[in-house]
Amino acid sequence: MAEQVLDLQNGGAFPQADPALIQRATDPLVLNVGTPADFAAQFPTPLDPTEVLALCEDITLWRNIPEELTGLQTLTWREMTSLAFTSGSSWITFADGVCPEEYTHDGSNQTLTLKNIGAKKSLTLSDIKHSLAVQAAGNGIMNLVGGFPSGEGLPGTSDAATFTREAIAGLKAKEIRLAMTLVLNGWDRLLAVGDVDVRPLEFDGIENWVTSGNGANADVSGASGTISAGAFDRFLSQYCARPTHLFGHPAAIQELLSAYFQLGFAGSQSIVASNGQGIIPGFNFAGFINTGIGRLPVIADTNFTRTTVGSNFQSDIYALRMVHNGEPLVYRATQFPLALTDLVPGCTAISFQCWAKTALVIKVLCAQSRYKALFQGTVVSACTRIG
């Protein structure tokens, strides 16, 4: 075919029937055309200014366990462990003309040392100023999108991460945000699985506080079978001190709630719309459970341990009494709340730390319990966890 070319000598007209129109043949063959060698240097691909944390995080325990501030670095409290008659409780009665039996009581002092937790970062002044100049030119990372809340949508979990989306002003601001997120996630992990015996700089978490060796009530009757609501109700009612909250892994809490939610035999429950069309409802559990001893809130955190057992998993549910007669029994004792501290700068660099001094306190362990059970499901992971 022919390609039409404008006749610039005659005013650039482009009429279809103009005899002055010049035509030339068009070669259908196209030669290979390469990108200039320095094209990328002249026109670099711009960086998306938003960085997404492709990571999972969980701070449910940190959000739900209350914090008590203290000026002390070591806490000591006393628990009375016995109150009885000297010769035994059966001597409450006495004869006419004599005195009643003497009584005695005893107790023990408990001591807990608060621990330092934190993260430190060092940056050169040149890097900080360079990052600000890059941002001023409209380039570089300007926004951070937070990680994925591991328990989002599950009963008893926190649907919020440490942050959702933040604009950052330079390198230092970005590193401060990341340091805070790292410390909060590490703090939450210690609240669940901290172990002072294995790692002396840590404080004990719930898993290592609430043990039979420390005086807590431990029930392993469900360790070899599936979770049963009836068996769990018996566990809750067999001790003299009743729990106020249930803690555990979200998958274990979900299975426990499912055990309490019984619809009867298949098809026994139905909903019919006005037009005669059947509806199959779904359900979503709330953040509490109606047990045999009353309504108990559930707090679920993915930092609790799960162990694969064949095609199922084994985990513990912790029945804790958080408050007794207005006195907190389970709380975070903190001498220095989480804060940013600028350290002494170097010649051409600066350093900062995000830190806190804290520990988990669990008092009156005879009022705290753990229930080991086998649950349906498998242990899987997807995105990497922070920390």
Average pLDDT, whole number, for the chain? Answer: 87
Give the pLDDT confidence score for residue 260 in this predicted structure.
Answer: 83
Judged by average pLDDT, the poorest of 59-63, 151-155, 185-189, 276-280 is 276-280
Q: What percent of the chain is predicted at pLDDT more than 90?
A: 58
Task: Tell me phi and psi for residue 92, to 5 degrees.
Answer: -70, -25
Span 40-57, average pLDDT: 92
pLDDT in tens, 339-372: 999 998 889 999 999 999 999 999 999 999 999 9
pLDDT in tens, 100-140: 889 999 999 999 999 999 999 999 999 999 999 999 999 99
What's the rounded Cα separation, in Å, for the pair 256 and 220?
Answer: 15
More confident of the two residues 382 and 276: 382
pLDDT in tens, 219-271: 877 666 678 888 899 999 988 899 999 999 999 998 898 888 765 555 555 55
Give the pLDDT confidence score for residue 31 in this predicted structure.
Answer: 72
Using pLDDT thresholds of 50, 70 and 90, give the confidence band for residue 91. Answer: confident
Quote the tokens at residue 374. 């086998």
Give the pLDDT confidence score for residue 166 in this predicted structure.
Answer: 94
Work out whether strand 148-149 and strand 217-226 pair parallel, antiparallel, or are unpaired: unpaired
Span 318-324, average pLDDT: 96
Using pLDDT thresholds of 50, 70 and 90, give the confidence band for residue 79. Answer: very high
On the question of pLDDT at 281 being above 90, the answer is no
Give the pLDDT confidence score for residue 88 in this predicted structure.
Answer: 73
- Judging by beta carbons within 10 Å of its beta carbon (0-12, 13-18, 19+), is residue 63 exposed, middle or buried? middle
Distances from the Cα of 348 to the Cαs of 127, 134, 175, in angstroms?
10, 20, 18
Task: Tell me phi and psi for residue 25, to 5 degrees.
Answer: -75, 145
On the question of pLDDT at 144 being above 90, the answer is yes
> Cα 34 vs. chain centroid, distance in angstroms?
51
pLDDT in tens, 293-316: 989 999 999 999 999 888 889 999
Give the pLDDT confidence score for residue 283 in this predicted structure.
Answer: 60
What's the rounded Cα separation, in Å, for the pair 184 and 355?
Answer: 10
Quote the tokens at residue 126. 């040149």
Judged by average pLDDT, the poorest of 47-51, 189-193, 286-290 is 286-290
Contacts for 320 with CB less than 8 Å, ≥ 6 apart: 206, 210, 243, 244, 245, 246, 247, 329, 330, 362, 368, 369
Give the pLDDT confidence score for residue 239 in this predicted structure.
Answer: 87
Whether residue 236 contacts residue 319, with contact meaning beta carbons closer than 8 Å, is answered with yes
Give the pLDDT confidence score for residue 160 in this predicted structure.
Answer: 86
